[in-house]
Every structure is written in C-alpha cells, then in structure tokens.
C-alpha cells in the first residue's frame, strides 16, 4: 500500500492542482489528508469538489469545523475568523454538512490520521515539543500517524517499543523499518509555514516503511490574485510568497 499524504490544503486550489499533478507518476493507492481542507484560501468550493472527485480520504480540522459552522472560531486570529465566516457563506448546506461530518481521526492499513494530535483529536492541540507527541505515539494502533495543524513538516520518532526517548527529524527521506512509532507532519499544501513557500506533500510506502517529503513549486502570483479577487484579507496572499 502506498499513500500520498496532504496536509492543510486551506482552499488553495492552485497549490492543490500542482500537487495532484506532481503525484501522478507515484501511482499511489490512496491520497490522504490530515484536514483543514478550507479556511484562509479563496477557493473553498472548488477545493472540496477536487478533494471529493479524487476520493481523498480526510479527517476534519479546526478550520473545517469553523467553516462548516460546527465550531465558533473564538480562538482564531482576526483574519482567520473573517475568512471562516466568508467561507461559510460560500459553501452550500450540503458542503458544510459534508465537512462537519468528516471524522476526527482514522485508522487505516498501516497508518492513522488526525488533524492535530491523535489523543484528544477534538481539542486541536499543537505539537511543538517532543512531550506533546508522546500520548499520540502511545495510542496509535499502527506504526505511523500523520498529523497537520502546525503547517511545518517534521517527524517525531520513537525508535524502540517502550522507550521514553523521542527524537525530532526534519529529514525528507525516512527509513522507518527499524523505528517503532512515528508521528509525521507532511507540511502544508496551501499555506506552508517553514519559510519554504513551495507546496508540501508526503509519500508513505507501508510495505517498505519508507516516507519521503516532496515540495512542488506552484504559481503563487496566480493564487495571490485569487485571494485579492475574493476580497479576503490581502495579508493572506502576501504570506504565501514568504512561506510563513
Ligand atoms: Zn491549518
């Protein structure tokens, strides 16, 4: 089984199209998403249409909850809240229900998915320290769990079963065959925040336990123009070019 893993697409259709094109030669069995399909970006309807057309298997992110009306965006920044409200108005009732009913976590063959953490997926906690990742690693039923939320590509590895020692890895090519558990963030398709503006995605091969992170350039100027035309805060276009 070979998966492509997409993180935080955020209604950036230009980036999503570039990633889907780049994925073709990999001939993956399934495309997975760790959520936040919409929010921030100017193309929520077109993005959901592409996600559903491609049969992408996704969990629900906090922006998906806010944009579907399931969650009030009380803890969002001003611009994120404004776009969540704008997105709600753009989506049809059927699309909002579809988003609101995505699962919070999923256990698949060889890996699990959650938006922020696998333990307490409803709380959308950030993983910024090794300690933040421990409970997720202890609870996943398979070797690997993919998460998003921070938009920063990184892996937390537990080399041996029962070991308290965890390590971060920012390698873009991980051989996990001698790793007990791994929590992996594939970065963000639609709003990278690691100062590399290229869209990110991961490829995970369950049989060989190999994970690779890929980056793909896309037409950021075109996407910035879409942001401006949608009338959502232009700062959201500017950050795309910086990867922050
Ligand atoms: Zn996000």
pLDDT value at position 74?
A: 83
Q: 10 Å Cβ neighbour count for 219?
A: 12
Kindly compute the dihedral angle of the four CA atoms of residues 179, 130, 110, 59, in this order, to the nearest 10 degrees.
-170
Alpha-carbon distance of 126 to 106, in angstroms, equals: 18
Cα(151) to centroid(ligand 1), Å: 6
Tell how far the Cα of 194 is from the centroid of ligand 1, in angstroms.
13
Three-point CA angle 228, 149, 151, nearest 5°: 60
Measured CA to CA, the distance from residue 98 to residue 95 in angstroms comes to 5
Going from the Cα of 209 to the center of ligand 1, the distance in angstroms, rounded, reads 26
pTM for this prediction: 0.96
The pLDDT assigned to 75 comes to 85
Is-contact 185 153, C-beta < 8 A? yes
| CA-based nearest residue to 240, from 6, 5, 13 | 13
Nearest to 61 by CA among 200, 221, 185: 185
* Secondary structure (3-state) at 141: coil
Going by DSSP bridges, is the β-strand pair 173-175/144-146 parallel, antiparallel, or unpaired? unpaired
Picking from 180, 223, 211, 229, the residue whose alpha carbon sits closest to that of residue 4 is 211
> 162 CA to middle of ligand 1, Å?
31
Residues bordering ligand 1, an ion, CB closer than 5 Å? 8, 36
Q: Strand locations in 96-243, DSSP E?
A: 105-108, 111-114, 144-146, 154-158, 166-169, 173-175, 181-185, 199-205, 210-216
- Cα separation, 26 vs 214, in Å, equals 11
The CA 208 to ligand 1 mean position distance, Å, reads: 29
- Predicted confidence at residue 219, as pLDDT, reads 98
Distance 9 CA to ligand 1 centre (A): 8
Please list the ranges in the chain whose pLDDT falls under 50: none
How far apart CA 18 and CA 225 sit, in angstroms, is: 17
CA distance 58 to 99: 10
Cα 82 to ligand 1 centre (Å): 15
Spatial strand order of the sheet with 181-185 comes to 105-108, 111-114, 144-146, 181-185, 154-158, 166-169
């Amino acid at each position: 089984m070979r998966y492509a893993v997409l993180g935080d697409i955020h209604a950036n259709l230009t980036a999503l199209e570039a990633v889907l094109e780049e994925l073709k030669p990999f001939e993956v069995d399934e495309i997975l998403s760790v959520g936040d399909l919409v929010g921030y970006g100017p193309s929520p309807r077109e993005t959901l249409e592409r996600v559903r057309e491609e049969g992408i298997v996704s969990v629900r992110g906090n922006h998906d909850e806010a944009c579907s009306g399931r969650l009030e965006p009380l803890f969002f920044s001003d611009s994120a809240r404004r776009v969540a409200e704008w997105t709600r108005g753009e989506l049809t009732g059927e699309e909002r229900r579809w988003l609101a009913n995505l699962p919070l976590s999923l256990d698949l063959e060889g890996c699990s998915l959650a938006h922020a953490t696998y333990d307490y997926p409803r709380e959308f906690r950030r993983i910024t320290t090794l300690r933040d990742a421990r409970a997720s690693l202890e609870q996943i039923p398979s070797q690997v769990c993919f998460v998003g939320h921070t938009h920063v590509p990184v892996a937390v590895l537990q080399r041996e079963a029962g070991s308290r020692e965890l390590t971060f890895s920012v390698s873009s090519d991980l051989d996990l065959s001698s790793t007990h558990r791994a929590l992996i963030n594939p970065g963000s398709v639609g709003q990278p925040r690691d100062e590399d503006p290229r869209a990110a995605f991961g490829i995970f091969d369950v049989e060989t336990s190999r994970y690779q992170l890929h980056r793909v350039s896309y037409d950021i100027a075109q996407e910035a123009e879409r942001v401006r035309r949608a009338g959502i805060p232009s700062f959201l276009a500017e950050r795309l070019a910086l990867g922050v």
